[in-house]
Amino acid sequence: MNDFFLYKGPGIPDELFIRGEVPMTREEIRVISLAKARLGPGQVVWDVGSGTGSIAVEAALLAPGGQVWAVERSAGGCRLIRENCSRFDVPEVRVVQGEAPGALADLPRPDRVIVGGSGGKLREILDLIREKMLPGGRLVINAVTLETLTGTLDFLRAGCQCEIVQVAVSKSLQLGSSRVMKPYHPVYIISAWGWGDDVGG
């Protein structure tokens, strides 16, 4: 039973996840990314470049009765994903250790895909996602670098609709008796939908 976070909706605090040295999508970015994915019951969700599994955990909570596939190339990351899934009682998350796009080839066709890391194979991953995505599907990509942003936009120029949101988060930090704001790198959250179907955004 999950006794760590009993509230509905996305936004599990970062400190409740087991972290290690593996990258994790920060809480505020995670909230917006999950909102843009428009998750619902019974959906098949891919979390590509899952890291600690924070997106996968929250996706499982927001898509009851569905399947969430957490794809991560590092053994340490896969271990953390399993630990976090156990912590938040989401056994429906399937962990796949492997490098995308190869690790995606045999997964069930997705309703939703969230990409947090591409390992330098962004174009190949997007090609496979476009091929496998179910009608009415949505893709969300979190881009930190301008190369990922421009590579994604080049891919999405034709055949679908897309939206880009830039998010720049600063959080308060205690310094002695005062508080200051600590900025984090801006993140571009890219949503895409409508490959060959008439489903609106």
Q: Which domains does the chain have, with CATH numbers?
A: 14-193 (3.40.50.150)
Q: Which amino acid is at 137?
A: G
Give the pLDDT confidence score for residue 5 in this predicted structure. 67
Asked if 160 and 141 count as a contact pair (C-beta separation under 8 A), the reply is: no
Under DSSP, is residue 90 helix (H, G, I), strand (E, B) or coil?
coil
Q: Is 73 exposed, middle or buried (0-12, 13-18, 19+ CB in 10 A)?
A: middle
Q: Is 178 exposed, middle or buried (0-12, 13-18, 19+ CB in 10 A)?
A: exposed
Give the pLDDT confidence score for residue 133 in this predicted structure. 94
Give the pLDDT confidence score for residue 6 in this predicted structure. 67
What gap in Å lies between CA 117 and CA 129, rounded to an integer? 14
Total residues belonging to the chain: 201
Give the pLDDT confidence score for residue 199 in this predicted structure. 40
| Strands, sheet with 67-72, edge to edge from the N-terminal-most edge strand | 93-97, 67-72, 44-48, 112-115, 138-143, 187-193, 161-167
Residues 6+ away with beta carbon under 8 Å from 86: none
Please list the ranges in the chain whose pLDDT falls under 50: 1, 198-201
pTM: 0.91
E-assigned strand segments in the chain: 44-48, 67-72, 93-97, 112-115, 138-143, 161-167, 170-175, 178-183, 187-193
Give the pLDDT confidence score for residue 198 in this predicted structure. 42
What gap in Å lies between CA 128 and CA 109, rounded to an integer? 10
Give the pLDDT confidence score for residue 105 in this predicted structure. 93
What pairs with residue 192 in β-bridges? 139, 162
